[in-house]
Amino acid sequence: MKRELQGRYVTISTVGEKAQAFVPSSLPPRPPIDWTPELRGKFDQALLALGRLDSVSILLPDTSLFLYMYVRKEAVLSSMIEGTQSSLSDLLLFELDQEPGVPLDDVREVSNYVAALDHGMRLMEEGLPLSLRLFREIHGVLLTKGRGSNQPPGEFRRSQNWIGGTRPGNAAFVPPPAQDVPECMSKLELFLHDQPKPTPVLLKAALAHVQFETIHPFLDGNGRLGRLLITLLLCEQKVLQKPMLYLSLYLKTHRQYYYELLGSVRLTGDWEAWLDFFAEAVIVTATQALETARQLLDLSNQDRNKISGLGRPAASTLQVHRALMEHPIATSGFLVEKTGITPATINKSLAHLEQLGIVRELTAQKRNRLFSYKGYIAIMNQGTEPPGRYQRRRNPLSFKPGM
């Protein structure tokens, strides 16, 4: 196995001390990737898994309903890696202007992630390629409010940052000096645009993610944006029609090994171990997403069959059920606005859904009652519940901004 540093160290002087910052070599890797039969087979499996995931739009009668919740699940998980303690239910409550059970900055950070992805997808649909401008645009939305908004949203950093430790001198990793960020990012942009030569899309996503995390071009939000980069690239290259692949749960589950692999690539050029891990992440994640879609489809069909047996109230109750599939925690007022049905009919429909065991009320009050589509929430919650809801600890390798 080759052992070669994938960049160069430069001495920096910051916060009153000297430290070694790492400037990565441009992509593609040199020497080239050693494509063993096992690694090539893993990538073939990953592409097949992505193909099956992309076909989920045929399986689901309304892909937009699935995407609405799935994107929010990813936002929760991706922000959780950065140390937030917001749950999926917290986000849904926040979007209803209800009081979430966690600090407001946590849930706002998650909400920003959803908005950032939507913004990026819309810009690409309007013709903007995956580019430095797109990164800055998405970052501007990602840090628009809440924690991190005091850092310059939408601007590459002009000061030194580091990962882990209390200062650059004892950090786990020190990214390139600020003056090297524009050139590093310009070379990454060229690689994304197939210069100096074309790169297969899944390999491009794997390599570009490491490069982005190594450059760490912003003062905050690099982890979330680096993970979004994978999904956006797959969508731009039409491997996926919709943003349906999110690796955050897999990376969260294998967080320490993920960090070790990033370090190993930089120090020894062991791209092959990273690519094996990345392909496995795609296979597992795409398979899980497909299974989640199947579970939600089965649940929806079972519940629709129950509702159809209601007789005359079935039509309005089915409309309420569909609205709850889009937003599975809702007030009666929200459902009135969403469906256009009268408050009295909404309340009757909710009573029917409660009796059928589909919905349960979360409040015990006459006004602004809150309801949960419990089966739907249970399926989407898999893997998202924070282990210690009120232990607000950031991971030891989380970013500490430089001075």
Say which residue, 99 or 214, is predicted with more confidence: 214
Strands 399-401 and 370-373 turn out to be unpaired
The two three-digit tokens of residue 50, written as one number: 């992505």
List of residues 6+ apart from 30 with CB closer than 8 A: none
List of residues 6+ apart from 146 with CB closer than 8 A: 104, 105, 108, 109, 112
List of residues 6+ apart from 328 with CB closer than 8 A: 69, 92, 372, 373, 376, 377, 380
| Residue of 124, 7, 56, 27 whose CA lies nearest to 292 | 56
Q: What is the pLDDT of residue 317?
A: 96
Give the pLDDT mean for 138-159: 81
Question: Is the pLDDT reported for residue 99 higher than 70?
Answer: no
Share of the chain above pLDDT 70, in %: 87
In Å, what is the CA distance from 331 to each residue of 63, 85, 343, 347, 355? 24, 24, 11, 10, 18
Instruction: Give 310-360 pLDDT, tens digit per residue.
Output: 999 999 999 999 999 888 889 988 899 999 999 999 999 999 999 999 999
Separation of alpha carbons 197 and 226, rounded Å: 22
Any idea which of 71-85, 111-125, 228-242 has the lowest mean pLDDT? 71-85
Separation of alpha carbons 296 and 300, rounded Å: 6
Q: What is the pLDDT of residue 83?
A: 67
Q: What is the pLDDT of residue 394?
A: 30
Q: What is the pLDDT of residue 94?
A: 78
Question: Is the pLDDT reported for residue 49 higher than 50?
Answer: yes
Any idea which of 9-18, 81-90, 122-131 has the lowest mean pLDDT? 81-90
Instruction: Give 265-314 pLDDT, tens digit per residue.
Output: 999 999 999 999 999 999 999 998 888 888 888 999 999 999 999 999 99
Highest mean pLDDT among 6-20, 154-168, 190-204: 190-204
- Name beta bridge partners: 23: 8
Q: What is the pLDDT of residue 342?
A: 94
Q: At what angle do helices 271-308 and 37-54 cross, to 10 degrees?
A: 20
Say which residue, 2 or 65, is predicted with more confidence: 65
CA 148 to chain centre: 17
Whose structure tokens read 């930089």?
Answer: 266
CATH homologous superfamily, domain 7-292? Fido-like domain (1.10.3290.10)
Question: Is the pLDDT reported for residue 257 higher than 80?
Answer: yes
Question: Is the pLDDT reported for residue 396 higher than 80?
Answer: no
Separation of alpha carbons 249 and 401, rounded Å: 25
Across the chain, mean pLDDT equals 86
pLDDT band at 366 (very low <50, low <70, confident <90, very high): low
pLDDT band at 387 (very low <50, low <70, confident <90, very high): very low
Fold of 309-380: Arc Repressor Mutant, subunit A (1.10.10)
Question: Is the pLDDT reported for residue 400 higher than 70?
Answer: no
Instruction: Give 164-193 pLDDT, tens digit per residue.
Output: 888 888 999 999 999 999 999 999 999 999
Highest mean pLDDT among 82-91, 106-115, 381-390: 106-115
Q: In the chain, what are the domain boundaries?
A: 7-292, 309-380
Whose structure tokens read 């944006």?
Answer: 225
Long-range contacts of 284-291 (CB under 8 A, 24+ apart): 284/250, 285/245, 285/246, 285/247, 285/249, 285/250, 286/46, 286/49, 286/50, 286/52, 286/53, 286/245, 287/49, 287/52, 288/249, 289/53, 289/56, 289/70, 289/244, 289/245, 289/246, 290/52, 290/53, 290/56
Give the pLDDT mean for 19-40: 96
